[in-house]
Amino acid sequence: MGVTTARTAAGRWPVVRPWFGLAARLGLAAVWLFAGGAKVGDLAASGRAVNAYQVMPYEVATAIGAALPFVELALGLLLLAGLATRLSAGISAALLLVFIAGIASAWARGLAIDCGCFGSGGQLAAGQAPSYLPEILRDLGFLALAGFLLIWPRTPFSVDGWLAGDPPVEDDDE
């Protein structure tokens, strides 16, 4: 890449970045809304899915499992609206790190479970193989979206921007 091409690409970043941020924000919102929506109808199943990781007492796992869909839905709605985007991205990143650690822990301990990320999870039937690597890679991708929004939370069409009096597209690198 020549010097002129590098300058052109660097010159485009302030124009492209907000739109990439919008895609990251809406994509992560869709993930949380889908994940929470898939679990909210059966909170007991969500609790059993958390308990399948075998890292905490049953009562704690079921309470966390029952609360998790509501946390995911709240994050999804906040990101969809672009309200408290940096905070929502930070909580998303922390939650995704916990999910990645949980999946890696289950894999390392030889558990055969479905992560329960997008609906019912728990113990797999005999002969069913878990898909830990794709789940970890998927969550790392979502973590990258959250990381992007931690660094650049201002995106077009966000309540954060409108409350701050920003134009629909913000060009500065906060």
**Residue 113 dihedral angles phi and psi, to the nearest 5°:** -130, 160
pLDDT of residue 95: 98
**The residue to which tokens 């055969």 are assigned:** 112
DSSP classification of residue 169: S
Who contacts 115 (Cβ-Cβ below 8 Å, separation ≥6)? 49, 99, 102, 103, 106, 121, 135
| Stated pTM of the model | 0.87
Below-50 pLDDT ranges, the chain: 170-174
What is the crossing angle of helices 3-40 and 85-108, to 10°?
70
pLDDT of residue 154: 92
pLDDT of residue 170: 46
Tokens of 93: 């990143």
